[in-house]
């Protein structure tokens, strides 16, 4: 009876210890698994900033955790690339819009146009050379047109002055011709008077 009691007590104690060890083992396994499940749900929802648990473990759970973390990193890279593509598209749209507007104003002979780069909304840096070239071309055209305008004004002023001089010379010629006619008439009268006097003498 005493032996049976001891055997039963030993078996009961072993069962309790086994149950505790099993519970502790399951808890040690299930806790990181639940954390990994939560991490997977966050990644699936697009929440990529949280750290992946259990990646430092050396067992199969650690390997599984590192695979999940690699998936998270790949999603981060894809998101970064998508943001870069979106930014590039926005920059290209801005450049095309500003250039189209500038060319339209230039076609309307507005030589004061330029592509601005305000501090609050600067022109995309990678296309800054294009903006500088456009503005330089417009300034060159404006300077050329200004020179042509000044030359035309100078020619017009010279032509006006030449017309004035020619008109003045024409008026002087007419005056001199009239004076010559009067002188010739006076000489004719003088000649006739001299002839008359000679005949009387």
Torsion angles phi and psi, residue 168, rounded to 5: -65, -40
CB within 8 Å of 112: residues ≥ 6 apart: 142
- Model confidence at 77, in pLDDT bands (50, 70, 90)? very high
On whether the CB atoms of residues 111 and 141 are closer than 8 A, the answer is yes
pLDDT digits (tens, 9 = 90+) for 100-127: 999 999 889 898 999 999 999 899 999 9
> Which one, of 67, 136, 55, 134, lies nearest residue 101 by Cα?
134
Q: Residue 3 has what pLDDT?
A: 66
Percent of the chain with pLDDT over 70: 81
- Model confidence at 201, in pLDDT bands (50, 70, 90)? low
On whether the CB atoms of residues 65 and 57 are closer than 8 A, the answer is yes
- Model confidence at 70, in pLDDT bands (50, 70, 90)? very high
**If you average pLDDT over residues 136-142, what whole number do you get?**
91
**If you average pLDDT over residues 180-195, what whole number do you get?**
72
Asked if residue 79 has pLDDT above 70, the reply is yes
**Packing angle between helix 60-107 and helix 128-200, nearest 10 degrees?**
10
Q: What is the mean pLDDT of the chain?
A: 81
Query: Does pTM surpass 0.85?
Result: no
């Amino acid at each position: 009876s005493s032996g049976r009691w001891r055997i039963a007590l030993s078996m009961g104690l072993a069962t309790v210890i086994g149950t505790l060890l099993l519970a502790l083992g399951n808890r040690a396994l299930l806790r990181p698994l639940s954390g990994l499940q939560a991490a997977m749900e966050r990644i699936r929802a697009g929440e990529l900033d949280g750290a992946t648990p259990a990646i430092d473990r050396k067992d199969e759970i650690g390997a599984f955790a590192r695979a999940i973390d690699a998936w998270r990193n790949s999603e981060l890279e894809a998101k970064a690339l998508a943001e870069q593509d979106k930014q590039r598209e926005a920059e290209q749209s801005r450049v095309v819009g500003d250039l189209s507007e500038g060319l339209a104003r230039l076609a309307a002979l507005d030589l004061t146009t330029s592509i601005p780069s305000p501090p609050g909304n600067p022109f995309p840096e990678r296309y800054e050379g294009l903006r500088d070239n456009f503005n330089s071309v417009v300034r060159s055209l404006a300077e050329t047109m200004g020179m042509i305008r000044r030359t035309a004004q100078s020619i017009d002023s010279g032509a006006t002055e030449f017309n004035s001089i020619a008109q003045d010379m024409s008026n002087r010629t007419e005056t001199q011709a009239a004076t010559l006619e009067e002188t010739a008439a006076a000489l004719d009268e003088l000649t006739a008077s001299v002839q008359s006097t000679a005949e009387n003498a």
